Amino acid sequence: MLGYPLGWEVWTSFTNLSPLQDRVAFVGLQNYRGQIEDPQFWLAATVTVVHAAITTVAKLALGLGFALLLARPFRGRTLVFLAVFLPWAYPASVSVIGWYWTLSPPITTSYSVFMGTLKYAVDNALGTGAWVFLSVTLFNIWRGSSFIGVLLLAGINAVPPELFEYATLESKSAWQRFWMVTVPVLKPFLALGVFLSLTSGFADLANVWMLTNGRIVFPVIGTHAYWLAIEGGEFGPASALSLMLVPFLLAALLLLFRLFDPPDREPA
């Protein structure tokens, strides 16, 4: 189910496949060279990298905070866990509509006037599209930090409690125990969380599309590929654009697991 679409996209990236063409021809690396020479590609790539970096750092920090909070029993822990878990468990399409109506109210009220004033203030201060970029980024952080929090909580629960008890006896500094014990045991989970966050940040097409109601004010790789394929009928360049992310994601995956889960050294 995954191999066929991927294979079709690879083949398409080397052709001029388009409803505007009478016949399909092999063009080699022309589509890739065209993307590299296109200033719009570099703009979309820059926005995508910034978006992915901001959301990844924020989601990792919030998710780790949620996991550490929920790792200890306290009154109302179940309700807090539900509040943390719900953003990820709830259907994304419904969540996007809720966010869209919250940020762009469909009914004229004092709240909608306030949000409209805030939007224009942000755009005037930071440039056109800043409000949309902020909205998409906050939604990605809100939904993604929920998943990372649950993932890291599962990692903490998988560690024997005796390890943390021993660390408490060895050091009274909570910060030292966090860096010397908690972070090392969570390294594989942190690596997986960062990679999944980067993937969602690079491929954040659906959220951008729905939150902007189809009005793409700032381009990311996903929206740029959509416009090339669906609006422009250029399936070859759009496939090449999508596949150009694969080497970077694979390199990020290899680097993350090298940093967070290095291979065991054999005794001399």
Q: Would you say residue 265 has pLDDT above 60?
A: no
CB 4 within 8 Å of CB 237:
no
Residue 63 has a pLDDT of 92
- Give residue 57's pLDDT: 92
Q: pTM, whole model, 2 decimals?
A: 0.80
Tokens of residue 2, six digits: 């995954």
* Residue carrying structure tokens 């694969």: 246
User: Considering Cα of 104, then 105, then 106, then 112, what sign does the dihedral take?
Assistant: negative
Q: How far is CA 221 from CA 159, 198, 207, 228, 241, in A?
A: 39, 13, 13, 11, 7
Arithmetic mean of pLDDT, 258-263: 66
